[in-house]
């Protein structure tokens, strides 16, 4: 409503609100302009009274009372729009695995306002959906909401799960907050209450009016930012003009060692991709780190749109993971396959493009570490040889393609699926494919272009325009545009197909060779060597590949 100006009668929301208070007063019958204004005001008032749900705010409160009981107590307040309402908890989030968060939910109740009000009927309709009926009871002039209360048990450490204990709370909100399926686009807010003495909250979400309250423009954005609560150690630094916030749950001494990784990594990736992509330039990006023994903090990293959660045994382990997660701020979070949009929280969401979204993010993790000098050239070669070893020791490479492995991601929770004769990893093969693609582009363009140009092109074509790429076809088109060469065969052989990769054909372009050790040897099975008689062209491509440059 705001911003629509009629000549001589512009109305703002606050004017409509004040008109709402003066309705019924005598109006000058002579004034046609006034009459027109009143007609518009009344129309606006009508709109206001029948307030569209699109402007409503669904509010959540999460109590952290008695953290030793590991129960998040949730109160969800929803403005009424129809007679019956469904609320649901996601079956999965972020990790491509059905984890049925509803399994942890207990004691779901609903009423119109306070717990003393008449209870509303709550009917469970399947494993993750609840129907709230008799909501019209709440349709009183001063109470146009219904309120759902429940608790969720979580005590699992690590970036993929949630935890509430006397030390801290870590929340992946999709594992805790229900949503109204047809109203995910409405404004939302979440407030944390009953925090133990001395605790604070930290998250990439925008702060709202109240203490420990945050807001987002929709449910999807709200649940794409984890929250840490506890006695927090925080610091902020600037990288290439962007604020980077660090929330550290670990030893104070980790700070400077973390910083040694975070500063060069974020600067390299921001530079590579042409600047910060974050939704709010002022808020920048947030890292939440848990550093400690795996049994206490878990391990690994989970990417989110403007933040990530990372756990590891040392600042250096965490720093290396940060090189991967930070690159996800582009690859997968903004340069995103169409098949993952919009998110379907209720069931599996299949994409054949994880070899790119995850695997090529791995490639950039190793590029970032090597190109910033955090890894030596030898470490980079050793890592690549190790990746090749991992793929070559899995017989499943002969029948499961990189695309098929992406589709089967949903099996990763099962132990049998990990058998070398059953599956390959799209992280692993995608990592190698990223390397091969970089070398192939450098070869096709005489080292004038590289995979970096493909990432930047996809950032311009898709991410910056709010568009999504058409899985492997979209990636292939970007590669062809940058290189001026067809990648049809490459995709048919190594991405949708399962042909054995001729490593030396690609490595040779940069004067590198893959050597294998004798079978019974105690040294690693593969190593990468620089060929002694490389040509000038091979050396140029190798230099570009190692330093991330073109000529």
CB closer to Zn ion out of 412 and 530: 412
Task: Give the shortest CB-407-to-Zn ion separation in angstroms.
Answer: 17
Q: Interface mask (CB under 5 A) for Zn ion, residues 299-338, using x and -?
A: ----------------------------------------
449 binds Zn ion, rule: CB under 5 A: no
Nearest Cα residue to 315 out of 365, 272, 382, 260? 260
Nearest Cα residue to 529 out of 392, 404, 382? 382
In this structure, are residues 321 and 313 in contact, taking their beta carbons and an 8 Å threshold? no
CB closer to Zn ion out of 160 and 503: 160
- Rounded Cα distance between 367 and 382, Å, is 13
Helix (H), strand (E), coil (C) string for 192-237: EECCCCCCEEEECCEECCCCCEEEECCHHHHCCCCEEEECCEEEEE
Q: For Zn ion, which stretch binds (CB under 5 A), given 26-34, 36-44, 141-149, 248-256?
A: 248-256
Question: Could you tell me whether strands 206-207 and 213-216 are parallel, antiparallel, or unpaired per DSSP bridges?
Answer: antiparallel
Task: Give the shortest CB-181-to-Zn ion separation in angstroms.
Answer: 28
Tokens of residue 90, six digits: 């996601």
Q: What is the DSSP string of 16-67?
A: HHHHHHHTTS---TT-HHHHHHHHHHHHHHHHHHT--GGG-EEEEEEE--SG
Task: Give the shortest CB-365-to-Zn ion separation in angstroms.
Answer: 9
Per CB under 5 A, contacts with Zn ion among 356-385 are 358
Q: For Zn ion, which stretch binds (CB under 5 A), given 49-57, 85-93, 124-132, 244-252?
A: 244-252
CB closer to Zn ion out of 89 and 409: 409
Strand partners of residue 288: 247, 309
Per CB under 5 A, contacts with Zn ion among 158-197 are 168
CB closer to Zn ion out of 141 and 295: 295
Among 249, 306, 443, 452, binds Zn ion (CB under 5 A): 249
Question: How many residues form the binding site for Zn ion (CB under 5 A)?
Answer: 3
CB closer to Zn ion out of 430 and 511: 430
Nearest Cα residue to 160 out of 333, 358, 297, 348? 297
In this structure, are residues 169 and 163 in contact, taking their beta carbons and an 8 Å threshold? yes
Q: Interface mask (CB under 5 A) for Zn ion, residues 117-156, using x and -?
A: ----------------------------------------
Task: Give the shortest CB-169-to-Zn ion separation in angstroms.
Answer: 7
Instruction: Name residues whose C-beta falls within 8 Å of residue 213's C-beta, 6 or more positions apart in sequence.
Output: 189, 190, 191, 192, 207
Task: Give the shortest CB-426-to-Zn ion separation in angstroms.
Answer: 10
Task: Give the shortest CB-166-to-Zn ion separation in angstroms.
Answer: 12
Site residues (CB under 5 A) for Zn ion? 168, 249, 358
């Amino acid at each position: 409503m705001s911003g629509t100006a009629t000549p001589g009668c512009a109305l703002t929301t606050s004017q409509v609100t004040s008109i709402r208070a003066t309705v019924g007063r005598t109006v000058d019958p002579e004034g046609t302009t006034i009459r027109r204004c009143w007609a518009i005001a009344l129309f606006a008032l009508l709109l206001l009274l029948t307030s569209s749900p699109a402007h409503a705010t669904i509010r959540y409160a999460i109590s952290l009372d008695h953290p030793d009981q590991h129960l998040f107590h949730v109160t969800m307040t929803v403005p009424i729009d129809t007679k019956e309402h469904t609320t649901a908890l996601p079956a999965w989030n972020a990790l491509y695995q059905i984890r049925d968060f509803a399994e942890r939910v207990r004691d779901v109740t609903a009423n119109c306002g306070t717990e003393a009000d008449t209870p509303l009927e709550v009917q469970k309709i399947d494993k993750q959906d609840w129907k709230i009926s008799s909501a019209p009871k709440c349709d009183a002039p001063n109470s146009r909401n219904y309120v759902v209360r429940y608790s969720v048990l979580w005590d699992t450490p690590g970036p993929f799960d949630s935890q509430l204990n006397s030390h801290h709370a870590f929340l992946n909100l999709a594992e805790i907050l229900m949503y109204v399926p047809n109203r995910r686009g409405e404004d939302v807010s979440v407030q944390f209450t009953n925090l133990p003495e001395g605790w604070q909250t930290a998250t990439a979400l925008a702060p709202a009016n109240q203490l420990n309250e945050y807001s987002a423009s929709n449910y999807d954005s709200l649940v794409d930012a984890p929250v840490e609560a506890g006695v927090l150690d925080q610091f902020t630094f600037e990288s290439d003009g962007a604020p980077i916030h660090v929330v550290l749950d670990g030893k104070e001494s980790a700070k400077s060692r973390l910083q040694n990784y975070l500063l060069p990594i974020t600067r390299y990736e921001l530079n590579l991709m042409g600047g910060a992509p974050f939704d709010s330039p002022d808020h920048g990006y947030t890292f939440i780190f848990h550093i400690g023994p795996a049994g206490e903090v878990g391990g690994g990293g989970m990417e989110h749109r403007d933040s990530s959660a990372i756990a590891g045994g040392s600042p250096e382990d965490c720093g290396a993971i940060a090189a991967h997660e930070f690159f996800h701020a582009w690859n997968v979070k903004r340069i995103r396959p169409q098949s993952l949009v919009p998110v379907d929280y209720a069931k599996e969401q299949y994409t054949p493009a994880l070899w790119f979204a995850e695997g090529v993010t791995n490639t950039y993790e190793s590029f970032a570490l090597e190109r910033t000098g955090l890894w030596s050239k030898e470490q980079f070669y050793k890592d690549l040889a190790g990746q090749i070893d991992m793929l070559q020791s899995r017989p499943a490479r002969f029948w499961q393609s990189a695309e098929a492995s992406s589709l089967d991601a949903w099996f990763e929770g099962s132990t049998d699926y990990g058998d070398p004769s059953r599956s390959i990893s799209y992280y692993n093969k995608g990592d190698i494919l990223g390397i091969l693609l970089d070398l192939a582009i450098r070869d096709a363009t005489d080292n004038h272009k590289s995979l970096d140009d493909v990432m930047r092109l996809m950032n311009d074509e898709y991410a910056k325009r709010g568009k999504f790429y058409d899985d492997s076809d979209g990636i292939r088109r970007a590669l062809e545009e940058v290189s001026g060469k067809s990648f049809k065969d490459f995709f048919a052989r190594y991405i949708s197909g399962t042909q054995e990769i001729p490593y030396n054909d690609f490595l040779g372009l940069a004067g590198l060779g893959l050597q294998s050790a004798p079978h019974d040897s105690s040294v690693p099975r593969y190593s990468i060597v620089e060929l002694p008689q490389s040509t000038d062209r091979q050396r140029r491509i190798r230099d570009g590949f190692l330093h991330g440059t073109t000529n």
